[in-house]
Chains A and B, each alone.
Chain A
Amino acid sequence: MNDMSFKENVEKALANTRLSETLHTFGDGYLVAREKAFAGLDFQAMREELGAIKDDVRVNRKALLAEFIKNAEAAGSTVFIAKDTKEANDYVASLARKKGAKTIAKSKSMVSEEAHFNRAMAAAGIESVETDLGEWILQLAGQRPSHLVMPAIHLVKEEVSALFSKDAGKTLAPEIKPLVEYSRKRLRDEYFRADIGLTGANFLVANTGGIGLVTNEGNARLCSTLPKVHVVFAGIHKLVRNMEDAIKITRLLPRNATAQLLTSYITWIRGAVPCDGGTKEQHIVLIDGGRSTLYESEACRDALRCIQCGACANVCPVYQTVGGHVFGSVYISAIGVILTAFYEGLEKAEPLVRACIGCRSCSAVCPVNIDLEEIILKLRHEVTEKYGMGTVKNVAFRAVMKNRNLFHTMIKAASRLQGPVTQKGSSPSERRVIRHLPMHFMEKDITGWRDLPAIAPRSFRDLFKTLEQKVKNPICTVGFFVGCGGDFVYPEVGVKMVKVLNRLGVKVVFPQGQNCCGIPALYSGDTETGKDLARQSVKAFCDVDVDYILSICPTCTMGVRRDFAERLKDEPEWAEKAKVIGAKVLDASAFLENVLHASEKLKAMNLQGSEAVTYHDSCHLKRGSGVFAEPRALLESAGYTVKEMANSDRCCGFGGTYSFLTHPQISKQITADKVENIRNTAVKTVAVDCPGCMMMIGGALGKQDETIRCVHTMELLADSFGV
C-alpha cells in the first residue's frame, strides 16, 4: 500500500460514518463491560505477571519448543515446523493429497489469515470452508477481517442477509437470530462432510504437548471432533511453559477481549484422540513466519507477548475513526502495525506506522504489558531512515530546530509574518488565532475545521526576563522546562504558572539554553535531531541547581523523563546527566499536588472560583505520567466544580505534526468526538494540562462553538488567586 492509496482509503473510510459510529458505540460499551469483568482484580499486577511469563518463554523458547514437540509426539501428534506460511500451506496441501482429502472445515485462526490459507487451498484444488460465523460471512463476501476478535464488525445484518441469501438460493430476512440459525444448520453439514478439520491454537503447552483453544461458538470443537484428520495451525509464539501459564492467559484473554470472565468453551487437546472407532490423525504445524526475526529485535520483540485479544483496536482513536481495513493489514490496529512490519515488510507497514497518533491507549489496555506505542515509535525511526519524512519536516527538524538561535529567530519572524492572517479573538477565551490560511489548497485539511494557534508576539523566554518574582524566603526553587507550545504559542500559561508558584512560596528559574524536547522530531522518526536537542536541554539544566524541573506539557515531561537518557544511551557521560535531569522533571499539576500538597493549602484559602469546568485528560499526562487525579483535586480545591465529560481520557486528535501535516483528516474526526463530549456537559470551560490539547480543542471550538473556552489548569488556578 503506497501513501496515496492509504490516503484514498482514509478518505473512503471517513465517508463511511456508519462504520465509525459502530466502532465508537462498540468502544464505549467495551470500556464499561471490561471494567466490570476486572472488578476485584489487580489488572496491572496480572499483566505484569503475564508479560514476565511470556518473556521467560522468549528466553527459553528453543528448549520449550523442543519440549512441546517431544510431548506432543509422545501423545501421537505429528509436528511440522514451517519456516514461513507458504511451507505451512504446502504441508497441508500435500497431506490432503496423500489422504485424498477434498474438503477442510476450518475454525478461526489468525495465522491462517496470515497464510492466505483458503486461497492456497483453492489453488491446490481443496475446498476450505470457514465455520466461525464472522469468518464465514467474510469468506462469502470475499473480504478480510477488520478486527481480531470480531472479524465482521464492519458489516451490518442487511449485508449478511444478502450474502446468506445468495448462498441459500432464496431470500433470507435481515434478522440476526434467523441468520445465525441458517449458518448453524448450513455449516453443520460441513463438519460431517469435511475430510480435515483445521483449528488454530491459543496456546501450546510445552510440558504437556497439548494445545488450547479459546472460543465461544463451538465450531472449533466440531472441527476437532468430526473430521478424521485434525490440523493445528499455530504461530511459534503461542508457547507457554505449563498448564498454570495457560490458565493465567485464560484469566486475562476473555476479560480483555470481550469482557467475558471466560468464553463459552476452552478446549484442551493433546495428541491423537479416539475418532470413529479408531484414532484421529493430528498434525501440528508450527509456523515461524518472521517470528524468530521479531524475537531477535530487542526494540520490538515484546510484541510477541501478544495473546491476540484485540483490545488495542477497541481503544484506538484512529481505528475507531477509519476501521481495520485501513488501519491494519492481516493484523489490525497497534499490534497490527508492528506485526505487519515484521511479517509483511516495512514497506507495507510504512503508512500504518505513520498513522499512529501516539495517544498510548493501546499500551494502557494491553493485557501482556506491551508498550505498543513505544515500539511503533521505534519503527517510525526505521521508516524515516528508509523512506524519509517529507521536505517540510526535513527543513523544520534538521535544518532549523537543531540550531536554537535560528529556530527562535525564525519563530519571531513568523510571528510578524503571520500578521495578515491572525485575528484577535472576540469570544470568551479568545487568543490569537489563524482563522484561514491564504493558500486555498490547504484550507480543507488544515484550517477548514479548526483555528490554528498563532505564534505569540513575545515568547515566554522573552517575557520571563521581565517577570518580577516577589517571593520572600522561598520554600524551594524549581526549574521550568517550557516546551515549544508554552514558549511560542501560549507564553501566558507559563507566566500564570510562575505567579501561582510564587504565591505558594516557590521561586522559578528558567535556563535560556533549553530547546525543544525533541518529541516532534522523534515522533517523526528523526532520532538524530532528537539527540541533539536532548543534549542542549540537558546542558542547560545541569547549569542550575534545582530539585524539581516543572513542565506544563506532558509530552515534554515524557520526552525529558523517558527519552533523554534513552536517546543519549550511546554517550555515557550525557546519558548519566540526562538521567539526573529526567528524574527531576514532573508536570506542574503533579508538583503542586504531590510535592507541595497545594490542594490542602488552597482549601485553607477558601477561594471562591464558583465556575463549573470540565477536564480533558491529555494522553501523555494520564497514560504517560499517571497524572489525572491531581489537576482535578487542584481545580476543586480552588473553588471550581469539575463536571466530567464522557471518555475524558480519549485522545483529542492532536498528535503534534500528525494533525497538521500528515493525517489532518483523521484528526478532524477524532476532535469532532471530543468537541461533542465537551458540549454535552453544557459547561463553558474545558481545562487541560497540555498546550497541544489546547491548540486542538481550542482551535476546534473556535470554529464550532465559540462560547466554550479551552484553558490550562495553571491559568484557572491563577484566576482563582486573582494573580
Chain B
Amino acid sequence: MFEELKSLYMEKATLVGCEVVALQDLKEAAKYIKEKTEGPLLVPDSTLCTRFGLKSLLQDTGVTLHEGSFREAGHLPAGGVTFSNFAIGESGTIVLDSTPEEVRLATTIPEKYFVIVDPVTIVADGLGAVEAMTALHSGHEPRYVAYISGPSRTADIERVLTIGAHGPREVHVLLIEGISSDFMEN
C-alpha cells in the first residue's frame, strides 16, 4: 500500500508539472536545493524546520537564506522551502497549513518552490483528505490551508497552457522518509 501510494503520487505530481525526487535525508535535500538555486531562500520557521535544523543544513551548503521579514525579500525572490502536512496521491497534491504569514509568502512569491514530503503521509484521493482537513479546522482559530498541485499555470491566452502565471514557476517535491507521520504538523 505504502509503495503503491508513493508511486501513484510520484506519477501524478510529475503529470501536473512537479519535479519529484526521492532522497535519503535532509542533507541530500539541502544539496539538491543548492544545485537548483543560489538563493536567497525564504525558509519559514515551523515545528519540523526547527526539529530537523533545516536552516543550518541549507546554510552548510552555502546557499543564502533571506533574513528578516519576507515582505522585504523583493517582489520575486529566488526560492522558498517548506515541509508539508500531507499529500494526495490521485492529484499529485501537497497540503500545507499556511496560517503563519511567512509560510504563505515562502510558497507564493518565489520563482521556485521546494517542498519536503514524507511519503508516509500520502493519502489516496481527495476523500482521503477529509478527516485531516476537518481536524485542521477544529476549534475556531484562524486557518489558511493550501493545496498545491504543481506550478502556477494559466491558459487564458488562446488556451495555451503556460507555466508561471503568478505563483512559483517550478515546484520541486523532495520525498524523504522518516520526517513525520503526523498530519497536523509541518
Binding site for B on A (CB under 8 A): 22, 26, 71, 74-76, 131-134, 137, 150-153, 155-157, 160, 176-177, 179-181, 183-185, 187-189, 192, 205, 208-210, 216-219, 221-222, 224-226, 242-244, 247-248, 250-251, 258, 260-277, 279
Contact = CB atoms under 8 A, between A and B. Distances in A.
B155 A218 contact: no
Contacts of B127: 244, 247-248, 251
Nearest to A271: B142
A334 to B, nearest CB: 21
B149 to A, nearest CB: 5
B140 A250 contact: no
Contacts of A270: 137, 142-144
A266 B145 CA distance: 8
Contacts of B159: 22, 26, 150, 153
A221 B146 contact: yes
Contact of A157 (B88, B143, B157): B157
Interface string B118-129: 000000011101
Interface string B133-166: 1100100111111111111111111111010111
Nearest to B171: A264
What are the 5 A-B residue pairs with the smallest beta carbon separation, nearest first? A218-B167, A271-B142, A134-B156, A217-B165, A262-B91
Given A187-B166, A217-B166, A262-B91, A151 B145 contact: no
B105 interface: yes
Contacts of A263: 149
Contact of A221 (B91, B93, B167): B167
A133 B156 contact: yes
Contacts of A150: 155-156, 159
A271 B145 CA distance: 12
A225 B164 contact: no
A184 B162 CA distance: 12
Nearest to B102: A274
A243 B134 contact: yes
A201 B185 CA distance: 26
A217 B164 CA distance: 8
Contacts of A221: 104, 107-108, 146, 166-167
A264 B151 contact: yes
B90 A261 contact: yes
A71 B167 contact: no
Contacts of A267: 144-147
A157 B133 CA distance: 40
Given A180-B154, A217-B153, A267-B147, A262 B126 contact: yes
A235 B140 CA distance: 23
B104 to A, nearest CB: 5
B25 interface: no
A264 B152 contact: yes
B143 A217 contact: no
B141 A219 contact: no
B100 interface: yes
Contacts of B1: none
B76 interface: yes
Contacts of B100: 274
Contact of A272 (B92, B137, B142): B142
Contacts of A177: 162
A573 to B, nearest CB: 48
B27 interface: no
Given A156-B158, A265-B148, A273-B101, A184 B143 contact: no
Q: Do most interface residues of chain B lie in helix, strand or loop, or is the interface mixed?
A: loop
12 contacts: A132-B156, A137-B157, A150-B159, A177-B162, A180-B157, A205-B137, A217-B154, A217-B156, A222-B166, A258-B155, A267-B146, A269-B144
A619 B101 CA distance: 53
Contacts of B162: 176-177, 180
Given A216-B154, A217-B152, A218-B166, A74 B143 contact: no
B75 interface: yes
A184 B164 contact: yes
Interface string B95-121: 000011100110111000000000000
A225 B104 contact: yes
Contacts of A134: 154, 156
- Residue of A156, A177, A180, A181 contacting most chain B CB atoms (<10 Å): A180
A34 B47 CA distance: 40
A216 B158 contact: no
Contacts of B154: 133-134, 180, 216-217
B132 to A, nearest CB: 10
A615 to B, nearest CB: 30
Nearest to A135: B156
A192 B130 CA distance: 34
Contacts of A248: 126-127
A152 B159 CA distance: 9
A71 B137 CA distance: 11
A315 to B, nearest CB: 16
Contacts of B75: 185, 188-189, 192
B12 interface: yes
A610 B170 CA distance: 57
Contact of B147 (A155, A176, A217, A266): A266
Contact of B165 (A133, A208, A266): A133
Interface centre among A188, A224, A247, A258 (most CB of B within 10 A): A247
Contacts of A274: 99-101, 142
B104 A210 contact: no
A132 B166 CA distance: 9
A106 B133 CA distance: 27
Contacts of B105: 225
B16 interface: yes
B36 interface: no
Given A75-B141, A157-B158, A244-B130, A264 B153 contact: yes
A219 B154 CA distance: 11
A188 B140 contact: no
Contacts of A132: 156
Contact of A247 (B109, B130, B144, B148): B130
Contact of B152 (A216, A260, A261): A216
A347 B104 CA distance: 46
A368 B147 CA distance: 23
B133 A268 contact: yes
A152 B148 contact: no
A131 B149 contact: no
A152 B143 contact: no
B126 A264 contact: no
Contacts of B150: 264
A188 B74 CA distance: 10
A310 B155 CA distance: 15
A180 B147 CA distance: 23
Name the residue among B69, B75, B108 with the largest chain A CB count within 10 angstroms.
B108
Contacts of B125: 251
Contacts of A189: 75
Contacts of B130: 243-244, 247
Contact of A264 (B90, B129, B149): B149
Contacts of B93: 262
A276 B102 CA distance: 9
Contacts of A192: 75
Nearest to A161: B157
A222 B152 CA distance: 12
A498 B108 CA distance: 69
Nearest to B143: A270
A22 B93 CA distance: 31
A165 to B, nearest CB: 14
Contacts of B165: 133, 180, 183-184, 216-219
